[in-house]
Amino acid sequence: MATKSKKPGKATKSPKKTTAPKKKADWLVMVYLAGDNNLAEECVFALTEMKRIGSIKGQMEVMVHLDTSVHENTLLRIKLGKKPGETNRELITARKAQLKARQSLAKKTTGESSKTEKDEETEKDEESGVIFNFVNECVSKIEANHHMLILSGHGNGTADSFLHEEEADGDVGLSVIGMAQQIERINKQLLGERKIDVLGLDSCLMSMGEIAYMVHNHVKVMIGAEGFEPRAGWPYQMVLSAVNKFATDNNEDVKSLGERMVCDYIAYYTDYQAAGVSVDLAALDMDHSVTQMWSVNSLVEALLPFFPSDPEVKKAVDPAKKAVDLEVKKAVILAHWEAQPYKNELYVDLYDFCERLQFYCPASAGKIHIACQNVMNVIRGAKQERKRFNNRKMPFEADAAFRTSLNPEEFRKTVNFRKAENFVLQSCYSGLTVQYSFGSSIYFPWAQQPAQLGSYGQLTFARDSHWIDFLKVYLNETKREPRGKGELFDFDERVTLDQFDTSTTMFAFGDHKSGSANKSGSANKSGSANKSGSANKSGSANKSGSANKSGSANKSGSANKDLGNVIGSMRNPPTKFRICECDEDNESD
């Protein structure tokens, strides 16, 4: 087998493109399975689920990229088949064909003294990334009216690597910025600037406003979870059934397909409530991603005056203003504390935070109430928000003509949030631990030290919305002063980071699709295992090297009792829940 690439963003040489006539289909579904880690078995399970539907001539072509410790960038067309062993035989055949093509290409280029145009083209191909190359191979074989790209593997939101894989010299992954750059190149170079109809992120923690904003120019609908996903991931038989049904009805909008996929996912995992499993999923309308950014910009503009960072400005504030500032600060902290958390409270649900902030914020801070309504109108839609008040007048109406003062004049735009359409097409949950998920999360850490604000500030959403500016003053103003008097000392930064729960994860690497673990190589508070594969309290480990309570995973490949979505440590949330009634009219509460 060829030597594996050291970075997920880079690919091995692609086989020479065939001149065979292209297949034609209404939909081309491309599924990238990053399984060179503890998700390998679940990736194979996903393949067998896809084969229950398979490609359907003229309607839907399904292409899969599989990467495991056995298969390196193996490309497979999914055909209908239910016999055990079929998938493995087809994978072996595909791998042999690709290896033969690469060897043939290598022989032709051996002994050449100088670079040819083809060599230079191949080098560019290697640098472009495996996601881009996968889509390139697919569209070179299949001509389609609609495109769905699903990226399945470990996800961590904006704070860590995406499509994490294991290598001999350590674990590597792709940054979310790197992922977005490949999506842009796919849109511009492969699809003739036609947007990808559906971008599916079958990974943990990826339904974030920041990520949507990175790809909004190149995608119509983005689907992902705010919280952790079970290792089994998406129910691909249901996904392909929905796409095939959609392909036969050309009158439907692609947005309704996204809504249907969310509802199917929630219905599938509702049965897992019997195992204590909680999940969420959302479909986001990329047409309204920019409006969501402006709503956060309005929130930052409303909050910043209550968090003065300049010492001279602080001294000049009159007592009455100081009292209001303190009340607002308390309200923000309490709203942050109560809002739906994810990934050990590095992220919160944006709608839930704003709803809680409206609840706790003093009426005298009217601009904050208005800004929160701006955010909520964008996430659920102004019409849906009016229904929350039974179509009566809201206590604080959203801005009718917001124009930021934070950005340069040439970048400013007037936004009417009273007529905002819903950024979240559909959001639903199953179980109790993520029941306040409304579809879009935002980076909102508790502590300054492990917050990684430098890397976060590189995101376009963080800069354009100025959320990074709010985080800096908020974390500075809410940080406690050192105790006592005299000279100050500190530990090495690496030692300090290890003292924060938020610098690691509370959950075992093998239990969900996040793939992150603590640094020290020792077990965390929950008794679950870290990267080293050391066991939990039971002393037993599963095949992936990470321990669970029973020492083994269940048959479906989904996670065991120690699933990643757990109640946050800094909250007192409800321990009962109502069923999220998922429908395509976005009526779920």
Specify if 130 maps to a domain: yes
Judge if 93 and 235 occupy the same domain.
Answer: yes
What are the DSSP E strand ranges found in 380-469?
424-430, 441-443
Judge if 327 and 394 occupy the same domain.
Answer: yes
Identify which of 265, 270, 292, 258 has the alpha carbon closest to the alpha carbon of residue 281: 265
Give the pLDDT confidence score for residue 191 in this predicted structure. 97
Specify if 362 maps to a domain: yes
Give the pLDDT confidence score for residue 8 in this predicted structure. 56
Among the residue ranges 270-284, 406-420, 478-492, the one predicted with the least confidence is 478-492
Judge if 471 and 542 occupy the same domain.
Answer: no
Beta bridge partners of 202: 152
Give the pLDDT confidence score for residue 530 in this predicted structure. 42
Judge if 218 and 310 occupy the same domain.
Answer: no
Give the pLDDT confidence score for residue 21 in this predicted structure. 85
**pLDDT grade for 168, boundaries at 50, 70 and 90:** low
Mean pLDDT of 93-112: 75
Specify if 568 maps to a domain: yes
Across the chain, mean pLDDT equals 83
| CATH number of the domain to which 177 belongs | 3.40.50.11970
Give the end of a domain, one of 254, 282, 311. Answer: 254
Specify if 1 maps to a domain: no
Judge if 409 and 539 occupy the same domain.
Answer: no
CB atoms closer than 10 angstroms to residue 394: 18
The segment with the largest mean pLDDT, out of 105-114, 345-354, 517-526, 543-552, is: 345-354
Buried b (16+ CB within 10 A) or exposed e, 522-532: ebbeeebbbbe
Among the residue ranges 139-143, 198-202, 459-463, 540-544, the one predicted with the least confidence is 540-544
Instruction: Please check the confidence at residue 560 and state whether its pLDDT lies above 50.
Output: no
Give the pLDDT confidence score for residue 403 in this predicted structure. 96
pLDDT, tens digit, for every residue of 210-228?
Answer: 999 999 999 999 999 999 9
Specify if 528 maps to a domain: yes
What percent of the chain has pLDDT above 70? 78
Judge if 57 and 192 occupy the same domain.
Answer: yes
Judge if 247 and 309 occupy the same domain.
Answer: no
Mean pLDDT of 291-311: 93
**What's the chain's length in residues?**
589
What percent of the chain has pLDDT above 90? 60
Instruction: Please check the confidence at residue 59 and state whether its pLDDT lies above 50.
Output: yes
Rounded Cα gap, residues 396 and 417, in angstroms: 12
Instruction: Please check the confidence at residue 46 and state whether its pLDDT lies above 80.
Output: yes
**pLDDT grade for 109, boundaries at 50, 70 and 90:** low
Specify if 359 maps to a domain: yes
Mean pLDDT of 522-542: 40
Provide the whole-model pTM.
0.85
Give the pLDDT confidence score for residue 496 in this predicted structure. 72
Q: What does DSSP say about strands 162-167 and 58-67: parallel, antiparallel, or unpaired?
A: unpaired
Judge if 62 and 135 occupy the same domain.
Answer: yes
Among the residue ranges 16-20, 63-67, 244-248, the one predicted with the least confidence is 16-20
Judge if 54 and 192 occupy the same domain.
Answer: yes
Domain ranges, residue 513 = 500-572
First to last CA, the chain: 51
Instruction: Please check the confidence at residue 65 and state whether its pLDDT lies above 60.
Output: yes
Contacts of 381 (CB under 8 A, 6+ apart): 420, 421, 422, 586
Give the pLDDT confidence score for residue 568 in this predicted structure. 58
Side chain identity at residue 437, one-letter code: S
Judge if 317 and 424 occupy the same domain.
Answer: yes
Specify if 282 maps to a domain: no
pLDDT, tens digit, for every residue of 1-10?
Answer: 444 444 555 5
Q: Give the number of domains in the chain.
A: 3
Instruction: Please check the confidence at residue 243 and state whether its pLDDT lies above 50.
Output: yes
Contacts of 377 (CB under 8 A, 6+ apart): 295, 385, 398, 417, 418, 420
Instruction: Please check the confidence at residue 43 and state whether its pLDDT lies above 80.
Output: yes
Side-chain-side CA neighbours of residue 555 (13 Å): 0
Mean pLDDT of 396-413: 93
CB atoms closer than 10 angstroms to residue 390: 6
Can you read off the two tokens belonging to residue 134? 């996968």
Q: Is 281 or 497 the better-scoring residue by pLDDT?
A: 281
Rounded Cα gap, residues 144 and 25, in angstroms: 5
Judge if 298 and 422 occupy the same domain.
Answer: yes
Specify if 392 maps to a domain: yes
Long-range contact list for 529-537, CB < 8 A, 24+ apart? 531/171, 536/508, 536/562
Judge if 525 and 460 occupy the same domain.
Answer: no
